Structure 1
Amino acid sequence: MKVALLGGTGFVGHYLTEKLLQHGHMPRLLVREGSPHFSKQTQPFEWVRGDIEDNKTLRRLLTGVDAVIYNIGILRENPSKGITFEKLQHEWVVKTAELANDQQVKRFILMSANGVDLGLTPYQKTKLAAEKHLPGSGLDWTVFRPSVIFGNPYGKLEFVTMLKRDIIDSPLPAPLFYEGLLPSNPGGFQLSPVHVEDVAECFVSCLDKPETYSDIYTLGGPQRLTWKEILTIIAKTLGRRKLMLPVPAFAPTLAATALDRFPWFPISRDQIRMLLKGNVCSGERIFKLCDIQPHSFDEETLNYIAAQTGEG
């Protein structure tokens, strides 16, 4: 099967490309002009250089393929460069779906996110709007909603590596965020970290499974871990003990209000808001269907962060 992959040059895209090749498919990646494509795959694959906003480029990408995986998403906007949630996570999904239909490409898999139905932020609202377009699109669609994704990033942005860099490596105590004025259960909000290998395997395994058509699957790892537990496991993997202190959420929120327009500031107001709501879901239904034994979030699975610095 030949598969058009949008968002194939980032963290999750690397694993999607590799899984497609492992399963005997031929990925065709969209690569932006002026953006070098880094790949560790040794097997051949196709790519189309250009921008998704160019209809001709998008048509070239979709011509002659059997399926589309839309994996484009952002955590922060940069409106001055035309990078917005509305464009990347809604408008371009609609455009890609319409052109796929024009090209007689019926299989369409969308990367969404757990919690989008809460509709708390523009990130969530645009992801949900893209999901809602698919039922009337005429496509054989499947939506995946993962929790936070972790795994060896090969130089890309990734959940655990960012926490190591911004919190564990910092000389300051690790913040255990809480809402309100009094420290009630600081750092107690929960997440279900899911390994990128498991995410990619689900996407690729479902390409030719009609039973997954017109369905939405959550993708959470096998554990429900608190923020404090996650930071503790990361520090332990590195052979460290990290001091942690309760921090009221309004403090970083105020800082983000003033500074999150700058790319160097590590977190946005909306990211803080979503984080405090937690991100817990189960992947059991799709893991069972695809015969996947999911990775645990533990020292053995996280050894890539220790290997990067020779720690642990």
Structure 2
Amino acid sequence: MKVAIIGGTGFVGTNIARHLIDAGHRPRLLVRPGSEQKVARPEHCDIVLGDVADPAALDRCLEGSDAVIYLIGILREFPSRGITFDALQRVGVEDTIAAAKRQGVDRFVLMSANGVHVEGTPYQRSKALAEAALKASGLRWTIFRPSVIFGDPDGRMEFCSQLKKDIIDSPMPAPLFYSGLIPKNAGGFELAPVHIDDVAAAFVLALTESRTESQTYSLCGPQRLSWKAILTTIAAASGKTKLMSPAPAMAIKATAGLLDRYPWFPISRDQIKMLMEGNVCFENDSFARLGLTPTPFGVDQLGYLNR
């Protein structure tokens, strides 16, 4: 099967492309000029140079494809540089849907995110609107909503390696965020980290299993872990112990309000808000429905942090 991938050179896209190749499929990647070196196993891929904002490039990428996977997502937007959630996470999806219809590609798999809703942050809203557009498209669709994704990043940005760089390796105490004025249950909000190989396996399975059509799957790992427990595990995997200290979310948000326009500042106001909401699956049966067993989060799975 020839599978067009929009967003195939990042952490998730690279791993999905590898899994597709291993399963006997041929990825067809839309790649921005100058990013060709980011393609994993290029000898097994078709590379189409272009940008997601260019309809002609989308047509070239989807031409002759049997299915399309849309993976583009950003954690922060920088409007002054033309990088926005709406452009990349909603408009890009809508434009790819239009290209799929022009090219006769009726199978569309979308990576959304766990917990998105239209009344949420701009990140969550753009993802939710993209889901709605795909559901209304008339195409054969599947939507995956992963929690935070971990796994060997191979030089790309990834959840645990980013936390190691920004928090564990920092000389400052690790922040245990809490709401309000009193540090009650600081760092107690929960996440459900999911391994990249499990996410990639779900995408590959969806392409050949008709039972996944018109289905939305929330992909969470098998554990609900507190922020504090996650930081402790990352520190242990890095061969370190880490001092941790309660940090009022209000104060961090105020600081971010002044500085999150700059790429060097490590976190935005909305990222703090979404982090404090937690990121777990309340109906955690998606992997069982898919017939897959998710990988637990622990020191043994984080050996890549020492490389």
TM-score greater than 0.5 by the shorter chain: yes
**1:92-129, CA deviations, whole angstroms, 9 ceiling, x for partnerless residues?**
10111111012111100000000102732000000000
Aligned-partner Cα distance in 2 for 1:189–1:143: 26
Superposed displacement of residue 284, structure 1: 4.9
Deviation per CA, 1:122-152: give whole Å up to 9, x if none: 0000000000112221100010001000111
TM-score where L is the length of structure 2: 0.97
Alignment of 1:89-168 (within 5 A): 89-117=89-117, 119-168=119-168
Find the aligned partners of 1:286 and 1:224 in 2 and give their Cα distance.
15
1:45 CA drift (Å): 1.0
Shift of 1:209: 1.2
Instruction: Report the Cα offset of residue 80 of structure 1.
Output: 2.4
CA deviation string 1:284-306 (max 9, x = no partner): 53322433221111011011102
Assess if the C-alpha contact under 8 Å between 1:26 and 1:46 holds in 2.
Answer: yes
Q: How does 1:290-301 map to 2 (within 5 A)?
A: 290-301=290-301
C-alpha contact 1:18 1:41 (8 A) present in aligned 2: yes
Structure 1 residues 149-189: Cα deviation after superposition (integer angstroms, max 9, x where no partner) = 01111111110001101111011111110000001100000
Other-structure match for 1:232 = 232
Is the aligned partner of 1:66 residue 2:66?
yes
Residues in 2 aligned to 1:272 and 1:41: alpha-carbon distance in whole angstroms: 36
Shift of 1:272: 0.3
Is residue 174–residue 243 contact of structure 1 (8 Å, CA) maintained in 2? yes
Partners of 2:9 and 2:40 within 8 A in 1: no
**1:261: which partner in 2?**
261
Confirm or deny: 8 A CA contact 1:178 1:186 kept in the other structure: yes
Q: How does 1:300-311 map to 2 (within 5 A)?
A: 300-306=300-306, 308=307
Q: Is the 8 A contact 1:220 1:283 kept in 2?
A: no
Q: Is contact 2:17-2:40 (8 Å) kept? A: no
CA deviations 1:38-89 (Å, max 9, x no partner) are 2442752111001111111110001000000000011111222221111101
Q: How many residues align?
A: 307
1:194 maps to 2:194: yes
Measure, in 2, the Cα distance between the counterparts of 1:237 and 1:203. 28
Q: Which moved more, 1:276-285 or 1:82-91?
A: 276-285
Alpha carbons of 1:257 and 1:52: their partners in 2 closer, same or farther (altered >3 Å)?
Answer: same
TM-score w.r.t. length of structure 1: 0.95
Root-mean-square deviation (CA, aligned residues, Å) is 1.4
Aligned-pair identity (%): 55
Counterparts of 1:266 and 1:296, CA distance in 2: 27
Q: Single out whichever of 190-199 and 209-218 deviates more from structure 2.
A: 209-218
CA distance in 1, matches of 2:224, 2:302: 16
Instruction: Report the alpha carbon displacement of residue 91 of structure 1 after superposing the two structures with TM.
Output: 0.9
Structure 2 unaligned blocks of 5 or more: none
Q: Is the contact made by 1:222 and 1:282 (CA closer than 8 Å) also made in structure 2? A: no
Judge which range, 289-298 or 168-177, deviates more: 289-298
- Taking a change above 3 Å as real, the CA distance of residues 39 and 150 of structure 1, as seen in their structure-2 partners, is same
